Structure 1
Amino acid sequence: MSQQYPQNQPQGWGPQQPQWGGPPPAPPKKSNAGKIVGFGCLGVVGLLLVIGIVGVVAVGGDDGGEASSRPSVTVSKPAAAPEKGAEEEPKEEAPAKEPSGPDGDAKITGCEVNGTTGWPKADVLITNRSSKTSNYIVSVEFVDASGKRLGEAFAASNNVAARQEVEADAQSLDKVDGKVSCKVTKVTRYAS
């Protein structure tokens, strides 16, 4: 026995007939909430990854995990020559002993303040004195003539081969007035 359906369907069944008011309303737009939540979670995971890498870099190194604190090194212009009437005998200075470990791997070779932006910049020469290819992070501070700290910056270089020299810049975004001196405050070296 076959089942038969009525030919006259009740109101609301089947395809809708166009109304006098115009075209049927458009379907609702899809929400982007899923994308926003997904990218937000991805950003949080990325941030945690970066924090973890910075933590490993700051703590670990190829020198047993000890980041070094280096005494201040100041680059300044040489003193003016003595007057002609004053004759002094030249004094012999003992050559400065280079610190061991990563402390002696970074030197300030230039220190200036950009005349347009007022931002101080230090030119840093990194020399890998270890036997392994290494990565470096060099912390530099900028001080005025009285020793007051005006700003700080970092210079970094990766995959520096043993005995290789690399030039890097430590650029601060702190605006300063007048002359500054640049000091290396910390050198971190770890194997690549």
Structure 2
Amino acid sequence: MSQQYPQNQQPQGWGQQPPQWGGQPPAPKKSSAGKVVGFGCLGAVALLVVLGVAGAVLGGTDSGDDAGGGVLEVTASPSAGAKEKAPEAEAAAPKGAEGDVKITGCEVMDGTGWPKADVLITNRSSKTSNYIVSVEFVDASGKRLADAMAASNNVAAGQEVEEDAQSLDKVEGKVSCKVTKVTRYAS
């Protein structure tokens, strides 16, 4: 004889076993590492966007003339190994942030062949400022061989700071160092 059971019911004792020694083990907890990583990346991207917008707004207000009217040049020979000094007097000093920056030396490093410019930043504004200076290295014909950047933060009003703009591009022969852009914004 067969016993009839209602649909989806099994007789007692069949199917799931009763808990033993303290019951069933707890279900493993779901890891939220994916959420943490995802939101962390999203936060980093959002921060970069905000900083980029703030830098564009602040950097564009006090950068001065971008026409390159006060580009300074210094020539150095890689075989000489010694720095040549920039001319002391310029006909007309550039206005704005470009007037705050002067190349005081230009050389190609003997061991590496990397060009380097010595940059003197003098904060002529009335506020403590941050500076980003772009420098390019060109040959005698004016062809760009390399470029580099120098930066300095929290330069007090009237303060002078010396920085290096060093490229990691190997160059040969004589080079000239030119300041191509200066960005200054209040700290």
Normalised by the length of structure 1, the TM-score is 0.68
Measure, in 2, the Cα distance between the counterparts of 1:172 and 1:189: 21
Please say if residues 154 and 170 of structure 1, whose CA atoms lie closer than 8 Å, have aligned partners that are also in contact: yes
Corresponding residue SS for 2:74? coil
Which one of 99, 105, 108 corresponds to residue 103 of structure 2? 108
Which has the larger displacement, 140-149 or 43-52?
A: 43-52
Please say if residues 74 and 181 of structure 1, whose CA atoms lie closer than 8 Å, have aligned partners that are also in contact: yes
Q: CA deviation at 1:41?
A: 1.4
Give, as a single letter, the amino acid of the residue that structure 2 aligns with 1:181. Answer: S
**Cross-structure match for 2:121:** 126
Which one of 153, 156, 166 corresponds to residue 151 of structure 2? 156
**Cross-structure match for 2:16:** 12
**Cross-structure match for 1:72:** 71
**Cross-structure match for 1:34:** 35
Corresponding residue SS for 1:102? helix
**Cross-structure match for 2:83:** none
For residues 30-68 of structure 1, the C-alpha deviation after alignment (integer angstroms, 9 at most, x for no partner) is 47422332232123223323422432343222xxx6454
**Cross-structure match for 2:133:** 138
The percent of aligned pairs where both chains have the same amino acid is 59
**Cross-structure match for 1:45:** 46
Measure, in 2, the Cα distance between the counterparts of 1:124 and 1:95: 16
Normalised by the length of structure 2, the TM-score is 0.69
Closer/same/farther in 2, CA of residues 42 and 95 from structure 1, 3 Å limit? closer
Corresponding residue SS for 2:16? coil
Q: CA deviation at 1:27?
A: 5.7
Corresponding residue SS for 1:96? coil
Which one of 139, 164, 167 corresponds to residue 162 of structure 2? 167
**Cross-structure match for 1:56:** 57
Aligned-residue CA RMSD in angstroms?
3.0
Measure, in 2, the Cα distance between the counterparts of 1:95 and 1:35: 56
For residues 98-128 of structure 1, the C-alpha deviation after alignment (integer angstroms, 9 at most, x for no partner) is 2332222111011122333332211100111
Measure, in 1, the Cα distance between the counterparts of 2:154 and 2:139: 34
Please say if residues 100 and 123 of structure 2, whose CA atoms lie closer than 8 Å, have aligned partners that are also in contact: yes
Which stretches in structure 2 are left out of the alignment for 5+ residues? 1-11, 77-88
Measure, in 2, the Cα distance between the counterparts of 1:117 and 1:141: 18
Closer/same/farther in 2, CA of residues 14 and 114 from structure 1, 3 Å limit? farther
Please say if residues 74 and 176 of structure 2, whose CA atoms lie closer than 8 Å, have aligned partners that are also in contact: yes
Which stretches in structure 1 are left out of the alignment for 5+ residues? 1-7, 18-23, 78-93
Measure, in 1, the Cα distance between the counterparts of 2:156 and 2:29: 60
- Structure 1 residue 178 and structure 2 residue 170: aligned? no
**Cross-structure match for 1:84:** none
Corresponding residue SS for 1:76? strand
